[in-house]
Chains A and B, each alone.
Chain A
Amino acid sequence: MRHDNDHGTRTVILGVAASDSHVVANQLIALGLRAQGWHVVNLGACTSVAEFAAAYADHPRAEAVVIGSLNGHAYEDLRDLPAVRADGLLDCPVVLGGNLSVGSYKDSADLERLYALGVDVIMSDPEALPATLDGLRARTTTAGAS
């Protein structure tokens, strides 16, 4: 049973947050997903929330938008997310990973305020991404069936 796009390929939108040009991890994640058969729309470095939304409009079957952020500015860079989601421009899950706040000491409040912006999943291990995407799809499928 597949709920994929016309070519039977699962699609994900990938990118690095707006003020960040660290792309090595981003490209490794793209390589890893493509090797597993995913169609990866990789928007690369310095991608604004508006650009993610535009890519979602082009690829409405995308299962998730996956955002990396390594420079500590995730909150600042995702500030437009609530508005974009309220306007219905980004209706798929948003997954976020990386170094998500400035400084060496991390606080759960740093993550809570990201969830409050509308981030669905925060993850620390890129290797867990395929399993996370499967989990999100199962959730969507179940919700659709009920």
Chain B
Amino acid sequence: MTGAALPAADLPSFAESVAYVRALGKPSAADVLRAAEAAGRVALQPRCGVGSHAQMMTLLQDLEQHARPDVLTLTIDSHTRLKRFDQARAALERNPADLNGYPLVTHGWRRGRELNEAVSAPLEVRHGSPDARLLFTTSVAAGITSFEGGGISYNLPYSKAVPLSESLAAWREVDAMCGDLAGRGLVIDRELFGTLTAVLVPPSVSLAVSVLEAVAAAREGVRCVSVAYPQGGHFEQDVAALRAIPALAARYLPADVEVHAVLHEFMGVFPRERSNAEDLILYGALVARLGGAAKLITKTYQEAYGIPDTRAGIDGLLLASRANSPLLGFIKVDEERVGWELEWILREVAEIVEPVLCAADLYQEIVAAFQEGRLDIPFSASRYARSEVVPRRAADGAIRYHAAGSLPFSAGTRRHNERSLAADGGPRGGDLLKGLTADINYFLHEFGESPAAPS
């Protein structure tokens, strides 16, 4: 492994890092999530990461000073995600602006501590690595208390040829290290990336993958799990998906594991008009509030154009924070519809995960199930998922299974999806390709923006 070439010996011991976090005197990410849930408000977190250490410091401080997010992010660059540490170092030396994130391993844990000490919010590392072991130990040494990813969710959407058995084994080690740290009194929040490929993800696919990763993590000793779900676009379906998270935790996880629901504001094609983008940001924040999410990962009005600047990041956070207003308590959802969606989500997740959870070896079973299509995700980048699952939007905007591939769904579940897609004259769009494209461009249509590709 490439990681072995790096001077891991430079890292402080876990005992020293735990003592450092204690001395740092700020809340851990788990503390922040617990407090937000207790207060009935949604904690807010932006994405952010730049190559230069000095600019990363400024970015975090500017976001904190102007928007007071509850958790701050180090988004990691793609070289580091892929363990190409030499390329990350070369790019850093040539021009840090060429990096699409902060190369934490290359900058080293001491600089990570500098960032941590520069702001009062706890930090989370967000990346996309099928094998994040060195990034994890560097993060712990930097005193970072939240770490995103999982053996399925950070492989299938990001890599083409990394076998699932390899990513699962690497993440098992990360989870076991979290267990070790929990035993020493430091609870690391392990956030699972249910967003997957971000486009038209059926809620039960997202949640089933997270349940499997969460069960695996809990068995290795992880004590705090954040289950992140991507806003799909249908209000009641999204609220139900968030409310499914505590129900799934009660059903499948030990009682001593803390579980928090996290919403990613819409990750698909964003409107280009600033006012439309801002409507969608506020709408997403209201989904998080009504779904009982502990945390919201925010977007910006520059989403359609690329990586946002600091001002847009601040504005996105300030706008999303409006949804926490005490004045908005009058907003209600159609509880009957939410209850109906929730029931179907729980049933679909059960049908997907329960046969896998029964197996003697969970890891081998996950690999075999993806091979056979009993587990599957749409639009996988990886050869290790079949991607026979084809989602569509029903006429009302809800995401359903147009094709469920080899998912072990009951006849009743298949009928439910067929009926929903057939209702109200069927989904919009003509043939499958045009229809899927229209489903992906859903919010452009809602706002009357043309689906022309942004230049």
A: residues with CB less than 8 A from B are 21, 23-24, 27-29, 31-32, 35, 44-47, 99, 104-106, 124, 127
Contact = CB atoms under 8 A, between A and B. Distances in A.
Main secondary structure of the interface of B (DSSP, over half): loop
The 7 closest A-B CB pairs, nearest first, are A32-B433, A45-B381, A45-B160, A23-B381, A24-B379, A21-B381, A46-B160
A44 B160 contact: yes
A31 B381 contact: no
A104 B197 contact: no
Contacts of B387: 27
Interface residues of B, number: 23
B410 interface: no
A68 to B, nearest CB: 12
A136 B381 CA distance: 29
A29 B379 CA distance: 12
Contacts of A46: 160, 381
Given A24-B440, A44-B160, A46-B160, A35 B433 contact: yes
A128 B306 CA distance: 26
B197 A24 contact: yes
Contacts of B306: 104
Given A23-B197, A104-B305, A32 B381 contact: no
Given A21-B157, A35-B431, A106-B455, 20 more contacts: A21-B158, A21-B159, A21-B160, A21-B381, A23-B379, A24-B379, A28-B433, A28-B437, A31-B432, A31-B436, A32-B432, A32-B433, A35-B433, A45-B159, A45-B381, A46-B381, A104-B305, A104-B306, A105-B455, A127-B433
Contacts of B199: 24
Nearest to A104: B455
B453 interface: yes
A45 B383 CA distance: 10
A46 B82 CA distance: 13
B380 interface: yes
Nearest to B199: A24
Contacts of A104: 305-306, 455
15 contacts: A21-B157, A21-B158, A21-B159, A23-B379, A23-B380, A23-B381, A28-B437, A31-B433, A31-B436, A32-B431, A44-B381, A46-B381, A104-B305, A124-B453, A127-B433
Nearest to B269: A24
A22 to B, nearest CB: 8
Contacts of A28: 433, 436-437
Interface in B290-306: 305-306
A124 B432 CA distance: 20
